[in-house]
Structure 1
Amino acid sequence: MLKRSSSTKSATCTLTFSLPAATLEGPVSVVGSFNSWTPGAHPLKRRSNGTASTSVTVPAGTEVRFRYLGDGGLWFDDADADLITADGGVVLT
């Protein structure tokens, strides 16, 4: 699940990347244009509601490209992205 929360006051958008924790085998991080595709910079943390999530804040109007990186170098995409390309998901903030 991908959630967007905009702030007109600060002209930013917070993106929350969330996956069902039960489907994750090992650590997963979200990497993308917001963190220079750095593995491990934004790990998903397990929550009490049965999900694993992390959030990033980007300038409003930004096109964000991202993918999830799982244990063992497994890359996968989020079906909730606005667009999925060969290079991963795209979200328009």
Structure 2
Amino acid sequence: MLERTLRKDRTEVTFILPADIPPGPVSVVGDFNDWRPGVHTLTTREDGRRAVTVELPSESSHAFRYLAAGDYWFNDDTEGDLDGPNSRLHT
């Protein structure tokens, strides 16, 4: 699930996953971080879910996926747009 917060010159996108699905550490990777795992690792929030917030330019489009332990790549099912094997978000 994604949450978007509009700011004056950017959009803050929060990537949110359940606490334990999939198990282990998860990071969001995409064209906004040169597809580097571990740059944006999700951390546990007070509500038990895991999340990370990334600042992106407003009115932009980005390909991304999640990477979990064991080299398990997966898309965000809440985002309807796909870009080949990747999820696509619009700010």
TM range (shorter): over 0.9
Q: Work out whether 1:3 is the aligned partner of 2:22.
A: no
Given residue 86 of structure 2, which amino acid in structure 1 is its aligned partner?
A: G
SS at match of 1:61: coil
- The answer for the alignment partner of 1:84 in structure 2 is 82
Higher normalized helix content (fraction of residues): 1
Kept in 2, the 8 Å contact 1:22–1:50? The answer is: no
1:15 aligned residue: 13
Q: Aligned letter for 1:81?
A: E
CA contact (8 A) 2:11 2:58 kept: yes
From 31, 34, 38, the equivalent of 1:33 is: 31
C-alpha distance after superposition, 1:37-76 (max 9, x if no partner): 0011000101120200001001101101100000010000
SS at match of 1:58: strand
Consecutive unaligned residues in structure 2, runs of 5 or more: none
Moved over 3 A (4+): none
TM-score, L = length of structure 2: 0.93
Q: Give the TM-score normalised by structure 1.
A: 0.91
Unaligned runs of 5+ in 1: none
Report the residue type matching 2:3 in the other structure.
Answer: K
Residue 4 of structure 1 deviates from its aligned partner by 0.8
Aligned-residue identity in percent: 40
Q: Work out the number of aligned pairs and report it.
A: 91
1:46 partner amino acid: T
Give the superposed CA RMSD: 1.1
